[in-house]
Structure 1
């Protein structure tokens, strides 16, 4: 039974400028749809907040009524933490805006914005923020988890570019967290997830990135051992201007891939180069891709950075079935390579995949304790993703993902990028993800959310008084 009746919803409607949507409203099913269609939850109400005042009123309503509260930014949460059955969703999706200040080289970004919004606004000034690989990802969730993407080796994690955040706290107060103001909160927001408040806007430092060199190299899956042994040595030694995430995949049926390899199981690397791409320099940098084995396909091109960020949008649209897990790795051992080879040969569906994202380079130059992100010594952030459009295959893709993760986890560092912790994983995964930072995060939680109002997340409980 819904915990928010129509009378209570009417009270909330009167307090907000944005709409309040309940199961009786025509837009309800659209409101509760998120990126991962495997999640099927039925909140009692959505408060679609258009400004800070709406956010404050919604938090006050949840606090006063005792309604279960979830916060939705871009709706990309793999385990569906942005929805809660029979409770209230504070929906930031109307707050999609970006303001770039070219004089200070910064961008202020609304809490409901997508990466594509930020990429588009910054690109006109030849700038970007290191964040993600799919443009429909929410800026808020990605940033609060730490954030990595094509530009991480060059410019660091997303949180390394965060200068400040405007936050509505559990008691309804509104603060700006930065290195100078509420520094403990600012530390915790940079990797600690949505545990500490509702971020209504982020201010990022921008970096030069306009046209980048893009390359895609794929080898038949049977060459996975040779390719990984080469990749584990080559990329960490490469200049920070070169990034490339390793993947096991089924080649999609479309460009740039030639028809003869469509549907084949492969391993590969998606490259991004932010150095000089004039006069064939990118081709020269990547001339080494023949060393592990002859590629089945190798493609290079200059590309506007936002085009790279949208390259996978059509392949991975909203509404697919997803199950994912993650782990950090500081090395790719020979034993781990055998695991990757096994699962590359047994990908269950056309979209299921595994990615190893490099998180070294500039990300390693931040101090180990500078932010809540606790794995500055990780070299790769791995994600295992079972993906398919058919709900009938949900069990199949979940099992492949869980088995892959289970076999590889003993070769990991123990924790994972918090945004890759999947549905149903044990609570000790959160503690492992924060290592020695967990107790400090729990103390910050006690200071800013002592009653754990914000618990529909990878939760960090307040430490005892």
Structure 2
């Protein structure tokens, strides 16, 4: 047990939650319902000083320490058994400087909240395909979003970060201060400290052309091939994906579409609307589609357009890989496997980032890597009943195995499911893992921050 009164006496000002408290079960719940962990203490921090107190507590008692921003990680790293959770969710500060085109964001925010704050200025931040994704976790691992092809990843737009280190110090990391730490946190995840705030470059946003066209499942292969072919010449303003999913069983939908399997081609064109109409014309006319939902949309609303596909509270298991190519046979493999998906709540996403701002950043500039693989697949399996877990997990693994000849030697760390181990780290970081392990040894030699896609300190890694 942890004596909450002692924590209070140390100067902690936030909320302390323990087993037996009325809101304990709610506080320990995360996005993935398969994660059921029971921490000794959940500390909802108000500021960096609160964070430092809880870091010291975990360090002094050698307790497992988890860090939670919004709890969106499918691997469930935001909560632990028998340890302490630093819950950053009360830290919601957002400060916009429209003249400097920057925003400072505390780590309890999600991307929807950030872009809501930016929308009145006609500005937008690059990060987040759905609104509930946390700023902290997404940025530290990469930061895909609807502006990635035009403006890069969230971490490419990061100017500085405030970080509480495992030894309790509060430091700034930027291109001018603690440069090695700044390099590492841009892709290396939460291995090096607890980031309490981020400063980002932001961009013109306002109204974008956003939406999706839907095709019946029997036409999915042809529709995805059309998207693939158009992507090879796509403008940077256009960030589009190809999705396979089932429509909601919604009485407001036409009867043939209720619960129907579909292929969706959708996303955002972040440029002049008339240019977007021309650029997306071929995609929108192909088929023709069952539905064309592209329309001028405020950017903060566009960020929410896919939220319905990934609701919290389902059992989830994800697998992902970059692809060396996406030929017709690879598309057929994905479509064929989707036809036998065991859960209607599962979504498959194919992504393309080639010939864009994503690929213009030097490979050595950040810990994030693999910018030379433009195609990616992420299989986000989800289901309601825990009894169906084994079947859904097996199906997900089999799909990735079937794509073996197309899988590149690389993976996006934020899409890893948590069971990949050392192979996952190698796929995410490759040769950069050695440098990351050395930086880890400098800032967290005892590996206090190990409940993540963990990079062991160099001396522990045998380096």
Pick the TM interval, shorter chain.
over 0.9
Q: Offset at 1:26?
A: 1.2
Q: Tell me: CA distance 1:88–1:329, structure 2 relative to 1, closer, same or farther (3 Å).
A: same
Conserved? CA contact 2:418–2:453, under 8 Å: no
Q: 1:401 aligns with which of 396, 405, 427?
A: 396
Instruction: Note if 1:433 corresponds to 2:428.
Output: yes
Instruction: Give distance in 1, aligned partners of 2:307 and 2:294.
Output: 19
What is the aligned partner in structure 1 of residue 88 from structure 2?
A: 92
Instruction: Note if 1:363 corresponds to 2:358.
Output: yes
TM-score between both structures, scaled by the size of structure 2:
0.95
What is the aligned partner in structure 2 of residue 130 from structure 1?
A: 126
What is the aligned partner in structure 1 of residue 270 from structure 2?
A: 274
What is the aligned partner in structure 2 of residue 77 from structure 1?
A: 73
Instruction: Give distance in 1, aligned partners of 2:124 and 2:143.
Output: 14
Q: Offset at 1:292?
A: 5.9
| 1:17-75 deviation per Cα after TM superposition (whole angstroms, max 9, x unaligned) | 01111102111101101111111111111111111110111111111111111111110
What is the aligned partner in structure 2 of residue 176 from structure 1?
A: 172
Q: Tell me: CA distance 1:242–1:69, structure 2 relative to 1, closer, same or farther (3 Å).
A: same
What is the aligned partner in structure 2 of residue 303 from structure 1?
A: 297
Conserved? CA contact 2:320–2:411, under 8 Å: yes
What is the aligned partner in structure 2 of residue 17 from structure 1?
A: 13
Q: Tell me: CA distance 1:442–1:231, structure 2 relative to 1, closer, same or farther (3 Å).
A: same
Q: Tell me: CA distance 1:164–1:256, structure 2 relative to 1, closer, same or farther (3 Å).
A: farther
What is the aligned partner in structure 2 of residue 422 from structure 1?
A: 417
What is the aligned partner in structure 2 of residue 101 from structure 1?
A: 97
Aligned residue runs from structure 1 range 223-372, under 5 A = 223-254=219-250, 258-278=254-274, 281-289=275-283, 293-360=287-354, 361-372=356-367
Conserved? CA contact 2:226–2:283, under 8 Å: no
Three-state SS of the structure 2 residue aligned to 1:124 is helix
Instruction: Give distance in 2, aligned partners of 1:445 and 1:50.
Output: 26
What is the aligned partner in structure 1 of residue 447 from structure 2?
A: 452
Instruction: Give distance in 1, aligned partners of 2:259 and 2:34.
Output: 24
Instruction: Give distance in 2, aligned partners of 1:46 and 1:284.
Output: 52
Conserved? CA contact 1:149–1:357, under 8 Å: no
Instruction: Note if 1:213 corresponds to 2:209.
Output: yes
Q: Tell me: CA distance 1:418–1:404, structure 2 relative to 1, closer, same or farther (3 Å).
A: same
What is the aligned partner in structure 1 of residue 369 from structure 2?
A: 374
Instruction: Give distance in 1, aligned partners of 2:448 and 2:35.
Output: 22
Q: Tell me: CA distance 1:428–1:92, structure 2 relative to 1, closer, same or farther (3 Å).
A: same
| 1:375-424 deviation per Cα after TM superposition (whole angstroms, max 9, x unaligned) | 11121332101112333333332222222122224412122111111132
Point out the more displaced range, 154-163 or 352-361.
352-361
What is the aligned partner in structure 1 of residue 385 from structure 2?
A: 390
Instruction: Give distance in 2, aligned partners of 1:79 and 1:326.
Output: 13
Q: Offset at 1:98?
A: 0.8
Q: Tell me: CA distance 1:145–1:255, structure 2 relative to 1, closer, same or farther (3 Å).
A: farther
Three-state SS of the structure 2 residue aligned to 1:76 is coil
Three-state SS of the structure 2 residue aligned to 1:214 is strand
Three-state SS of the structure 2 residue aligned to 1:419 is helix
Q: Offset at 1:295?
A: 2.1
Instruction: Give distance in 1, aligned partners of 2:99 and 2:216.
Output: 48
Unaligned runs of 5+ in 2: none
Conserved? CA contact 1:267–1:344, under 8 Å: no
Instruction: Give distance in 2, aligned partners of 1:20 and 1:110.
Output: 20
Instruction: Give distance in 2, aligned partners of 1:143 and 1:255.
Output: 38
What is the aligned partner in structure 2 of residue 43 from structure 1?
A: 39
Instruction: Give distance in 1, aligned partners of 2:424 and 2:125.
Output: 28
Q: Offset at 1:374?
A: 1.1
Conserved? CA contact 1:224–1:340, under 8 Å: no
Point out the more displaced range, 173-182 or 352-361.
352-361
Three-state SS of the structure 1 residue aligned to 2:86 is strand
Q: Offset at 1:101?
A: 1.0
Q: 1:161 aligns with which of 136, 143, 157?
A: 157
Q: Tell me: CA distance 1:10–1:410, structure 2 relative to 1, closer, same or farther (3 Å).
A: farther
Point out the more displaced range, 442-451 or 382-391.
382-391
| 1:73-105 deviation per Cα after TM superposition (whole angstroms, max 9, x unaligned) | 110010101111111111111111211111211
Instruction: Give distance in 2, aligned partners of 1:304 and 1:273.
Output: 12
Three-state SS of the structure 1 residue aligned to 2:138 is helix
Q: 2:146 aligns with which of 129, 137, 150?
A: 150
Three-state SS of the structure 2 residue aligned to 1:56 is helix
Unaligned runs of 5+ in 1: none
Three-state SS of the structure 2 residue aligned to 1:335 is helix
Three-state SS of the structure 2 residue aligned to 1:195 is coil
Instruction: Give distance in 2, aligned partners of 1:162 and 1:255.
Output: 44
Aligned residue runs from structure 1 range 184-203, under 5 A = 184-203=180-199
